[in-house]
Structure 1
Amino acid sequence: MQTLYITHPSCRLHEMGPSHPECPERLDAINDQLLASGVLGFLDERQAVRAGRADVLRVHTRRYLEYLDAHSPTRAGTYFELDPDTLMNPHTLEAAWMAAGAGLVGVDAIMRGEASTAFCSVRPPGHHARPGEAMGFCIFNNLAVAVAHALDNYALARVAIIDFDVHHGNGTEEMFAGDDRVLMCSFFQHPFYPHCGAGKVASNMVNIPVPAYTAGAALRQLMSDIWLPRLQAFEPEFIFVSAGFDAHREDDMAQLGMVESDYAWMTEQIVALADKTAQGRIVSFLEGGYNLSALGRSAVAHIKALARL
C-alpha cells in the first residue's frame, strides 16, 4: 500500500527571520534528500488542503483563532511576536492552516483505503501549540487537529500518539490528557524546554524523561521496555507520530545521541505495531530537527521505514 508525502508551497513562505533555526530550508533538506536517495519516486505526493475552522476548533479555542486573525501582519518584511521564539510574517497564518490540513488529507486518504501511511512535511510544526497559545515555533497543533478529526469522523475507539522529538510535546499532552481513547507515548530530554512532563501525569500519558547525552541504544531499550508493552496492550486502531529529528547527535539544539538507524528502527517498530492492530494506518508529522543535513538523512530513514523500502 502506498505512502503519502504531503506538503504545500505555503509552508515555505512562513519564516521568522534570517537567523531563526525553524526555517524554510528544513523542507528543502528533506525533499532534496528524498530526491537524492531515489525514495521520492516511490511516494504518492499530495498537496495539503487548508484546514477548516471547525477542524482547528476541536483542539484550539475560538479566542485564540481570533487573536491570530487580528495580529497577522499584512506588510512584507514585518513580524508579530506570538512568543519569544515564535513569530508571524504575512504568510504564516496561511502556512499554519495548510500545515493543520495536511493531516486531514492523510487521515481521509488512509481511511478510504488509498494508502496505509503518510508523512506530512509541513511547517510551522505543532506539538508545543496549546489550546489557546502559540509556543515553541508552533502555531496550530497539526497532529492534534488530525487526531480529533479521526476520532470524530471515523468512530475510532483507540488512537495512539508517539512523540520522539527531543522536546516534550506539552501541547499535545494538554489536549488529550485524561482522554481514554488516546494513549500518548513520548521520550524527551529533561531538564530541558518546555520544562514539563516529568512529574505526575494522566494515566493515558507515557512520558519518559531522559538526561542529556542519552544514546540511541538506550532510547531503543526504553521503547522496547516501556512504550511497546503499553501500546500493544492498548491495541490502537490508528497511530499518529510527532516526528522530531532534533534528538540526532549532530543537532546542536539539544544533547541526545540518536542517528539515522535509530529513527529507522523506531519507525519499524511503529509499523509492525500498526500492522498488528491498526490495519497499518499511520500519519506522521514533521516537528523539530534543525541541523539540515541530519534532518534530511533522518527524515528519509523514517519515511523509508514507513514505506517499507
Structure 2
Amino acid sequence: MLSYQWDDQALVKSIYARLKEDGLPVWMDIEGGVTGNVNDSMAAGVEEAAVICPFMTPAYQASRSCKKELNYADSREVMIVPIMLTDNWEASEWLGLITAGLLWVDFRNTEAEEHFEMSLRSLEEEIMFNAGHLLAVEEPPREEEEDQPEAPQARLKKKPGRAFRHALSLLYIRESALRFALLLAGGRDEQPDPRTTVGLSGTSGESCYWVEMKANGCKYYRSVVTDRYLGFDPSRNRVHSEVSPSATEEWLMLVDPTDQSHRRAVIIKNKDSGRFLAVQDGDFVGLPSYNEDCKWFLE
C-alpha cells in the first residue's frame, strides 16, 4: 500500500506504475483502491496490506488522513517501509515515533532518470526483504516467443538475508571461510570456538548473507550458513561470529542521510561499544565517529 499526501501524487503514481510493471501487487487510492466510502476503502487497504510505504514529507506529517492511515497500519503491525522525499528534514512527532529505527528509501532529488531507477530498485529490494515471503510476485508482461517454451524466472526474489558491501573498498562482510568450508564438507566442530573471526571478501555468496533479527532496540545478524551471530570486540578491533547472541552482537543500523547515490546506504554501529563499523586498508576497524569509511551498501 502506498500512503502519501496529495501534493506528491504524480511521483507516487509513477512509482505505482513501475512496481506493477515489475510484478509487485500494489495498492493506490486513485488506481482502483477507493470504491464507495473513503474511510472504509482506506481501512480495507491497510488490512489487506503486507507492507505500507509512507512517502514522508512535512505535509505528510501534518496530514490528519495520513496520520490515521499509518497509525492504523502500525496498530495492526503491518510492516512499514518509509520513503523519504524531503532534503534536510527528518520525521518527528507521531511520524518520527512510528518510523524510528526503520530504514527509509531515498527518493529525494530523483528528477534524473538514473537516480529514479536506482531508488526504485532500492525500494523493491527493501519490500522484498521485509515481505517477499508474503507477496505473490507476478511475472512481468512479455511478448510470446516460439523458441522459448519455458517461462522465465520472476524478476523479483526474496534474498536469504542482508549482504553488506563497503562503499569505498567494495568488500563484503563474510562469515569465516574455514568454518563455511567445513560445513560444505559435511564436517562439524567437536568443541566449537565461542568466537570465530569474520572476514572481508571481494565477491558475494551465501556466506555473505546475514539474517536480520529484532532485539531490544537493536538488531542481531545471524549468518545464513553457520547460524552464528555477527559481533564486534573493541579490545581487539575485531569482527567475529558467535554461537549465541550477547551484548557484543547487538547492532544499530541507520540510513546514511549524507549519501547521494540513491542506493541503500547505511551506517552500522555496534551498540555495546558505541563504535561505527568501518574498513580501512582492507581490514575492519571500529571508529568513535562517522566518516566515509563507515558507509555500507545493502545488497
More strand by share: 2
Please tell me whether Structure 1 or Structure 2 has the larger radius of gyration of its CA atoms.
Answer: 2
What TM-score comes out, normalization by structure 2 length? 0.30
Q: What is the TM-score with the length of structure 1 in the denominator?
A: 0.29
Larger RCO, structures 1/2 (Cα 8 Å, 6+ apart) = 1
